[in-house]
Structure formats: structure tokens, C-alpha cells
Amino acid sequence: MSNQNGINIAKSIGFATALGLSLGACDVTTGFVVASAATANIIAEDKMPTDYLAEWATGMDCNYIRKLDDKGPYCRPPHEELIERPRYCYRELGRVTCYKNPNLHASSSTTVN
């Protein structure tokens, strides 16, 4: 991550904290709780609270921090999780060979994890 991105993320966390404190202007405890929750969400999920609003409005995967990192678009089509088929690998003479299907004749001592 470049130094500029680090500055932008720090500004984003500062903005979330200020927003939380301003929402609880009458009650300091409420503002602190909102600011803490927004900051914890940024740290844990790498998403700003506004990202969730943009996702709800567009139906796409929106992430401001990712946009800063890779200079891509703010909202992207939702990604589908790819599930790889298992590979079955076995030790052979001087090498490891992998197959789509398990070798029913191989012993457990030749199996490679």
C-alpha cells in the first residue's frame, strides 16, 4: 500500500469517527458508541459505512478502500466464490503426480496432502 492510500484510509477513519461523534451531539456515550462501531467496522471489514448504503442502492459490491488500493471502480459486480475441485496427489518414483479422481490402488503412504 502506498503512503497516499494510508493517508486516505486514515482520513476515512477520522471521518467515520467525526460522523459518529456528531450523530451523538446531545449524548457523548451514543456518539462514542457509533464512532467506535464505525471504526471497528472499517478495521474488520475494510468497508466504510457508506459502502453498505451504496451496496444496498446498487446491488453491487462497493468498497472505497479497495478502490483506493487498486484504482478500480467503486462498485463492481458481485463476485462468485469459485470452488475448486479436489486434486488427488500421489508420490511416485522421483515426482508427485496429481489426478482429478482418486487412485483406488494407491496406499495411504503415497498420498500427498
Please give the Cα distance from 52 to 38 (Å, whole number): 12
Kindly give the interhelix angle for 3-23 and 28-45, rounded to the nearest 10 degrees.
150
Residue 44: predicted pLDDT: 67
Q: Quick check: 16 pLDDT over 80?
A: no
* Residue 90 contacts residue 96 (beta carbons within 8 Å): yes
Mean pLDDT of the chain: 74
User: How do residues 39-94 score in pLDDT, each as one tens digit?
Assistant: 776 666 778 888 888 888 998 988 888 888 888 898 989 877 777 888 888 888 88
Closest C-alpha to 63, from 47, 83, 50, 78 = 47
Mean pLDDT of the region 15-37: 62
Residue 64: predicted pLDDT: 87
* Cell of residue 15, nine digits: 471521518
What is the phi/psi pair of residue 97, to 5°?
-120, 140
* Cell of residue 65, nine digits: 478502500
pTM across the whole model: 0.41
Q: Are strands 61-62 and 75-76 parallel, antiparallel or unpaired?
A: antiparallel
Q: Quick check: 14 pLDDT over 70?
A: no
Please identify which residue in the block is written with the cell numbers 476515512. 12
- The three-class DSSP label of residue 91 is strand
